[in-house]
Chain A
Amino acid sequence: MELAILERLDALRAQRQPVAHISAIEGGEDRLLCPGEPAEPELASALAEAFRTGKSRVSEDGAHFINVYMPPVRIVVIGAVHISQALAGLAKIAGFDLTIIDPRTAFATPERFGDVNLIAEWPDDALKLHRLDAYTALVVLTHDPKIDDTPLKMALETGCFYIGALGSRKTHAKRVERLMRDGVSGEALATISAPVGLDIGGVTPQEIAVSILAEIIASLRKKPQ
Chain B
Amino acid sequence: MSDNLDPLSVAARWVEEGRAVALATVLETWGSAPRPVGSHLVVDADGNFQGSVSGGCVEGDVLAAAEDIIGTGGAKLLDFGVADETAWRAGLSCGGRIRIRVERVG
Contact = CB atoms under 8 A, between A and B. Distances in A.
A and B interact: yes
Interface stretch (A1-9, A142-150, A191-199, A202-210): A1-9
B106 interface: yes
B1 A6 contact: no
A25 interface: yes
Interface in A1-26: 1-3, 6-7, 9-10, 13, 25-26
B96 interface: no
A27 to B, nearest CB: 3
A141 interface: no
B25 A67 contact: yes
A28 interface: yes
Interface string B64-75: 000000000011
Contacts of A65: 25, 27, 101
Interface of B: 1, 8-9, 11-12, 15-16, 23, 25, 27-28, 36-38, 74-77, 101, 103, 105-106
A25 B27 contact: yes
Nearest to A27: B75
A26 B9 CA distance: 23
Contacts of A26: 75, 77, 101
Contacts of B37: 55-57, 67
Contacts of B23: 1
Given A1-B105, A65-B27, 10 more contacts: A3-B15, A6-B106, A10-B12, A25-B27, A25-B77, A25-B101, A27-B74, A55-B37, A58-B27, A65-B101
A2 B75 CA distance: 12
Contacts of A25: 27, 77, 101
Contacts of B101: 25-27, 65
A224 to B, nearest CB: 20
Contact of A95 (B1, B75, B103, B105): B1
A26 B106 CA distance: 16
Interface string A38-79: 000000000000000001111000000101110010000000
